[in-house]
Amino acid sequence: SQTIHQWPATLVQPVGSPLSLECTVEGTSNPNLYWYRQAAGRGLQLLFYSVGIGQISSEVPQNLSASRPQDRQFILSSKKLLLSDSGFYLCAWSTLPYGYTFGSGTRLTVV
């Protein structure tokens, strides 16, 4: 069966520090992978998506970047965190028309 792993679950980082969030999927090959951010009380904002190794599309300009070094690995990074980067980050993979499967999320607090 397909599963998706996302870690860490919670993270508190100081402003200006680097960030690395990792997401891996199992039980599928060549998935489309996505990073979403959910700010407090708001909906889901698509940050990045990837249709293959090394292929990254950015939806919004921001302080974050994404990489896909392996077929089933998707990493969200930042060189210097801002306060506005705080939020709940969700990784997902999809094979339409079956919808998305989401990871359990990472709660990032930048202090």
Using a 10 angstrom Cβ sphere, with 0-12 exposed, 13-18 middle and 19 or more buried, the burial of residue 30 is exposed
Is residue 7 near other proteins by the rule CB under 8 A?
A: no
Nearer to other proteins, 42 or 80 (CB): 42
DSSP 94: E
Find, among 46, 1, 48, the residue nearest to 26 by Cα.
1
Is residue 67 near other proteins by the rule CB under 8 A?
A: no
Residue 24 β-bridge partners: 5, 73
Q: Please give the single-letter amino acid code of residue 5.
A: H
In angstroms, give the least distance from the CB of 21 to other proteins.
Answer: 13
Q: Which two tokens stand for residue 101?
A: 């499967």
Is residue 6 near other proteins by the rule CB under 8 A?
A: yes
Is residue 56 near other proteins by the rule CB under 8 A?
A: no
Is residue 66 near other proteins by the rule CB under 8 A?
A: no
**Which residues would be at the binding site for other proteins (CB under 8 A)?**
6, 32, 36, 42-44, 46, 49, 51, 88, 90, 92, 94-105, 107
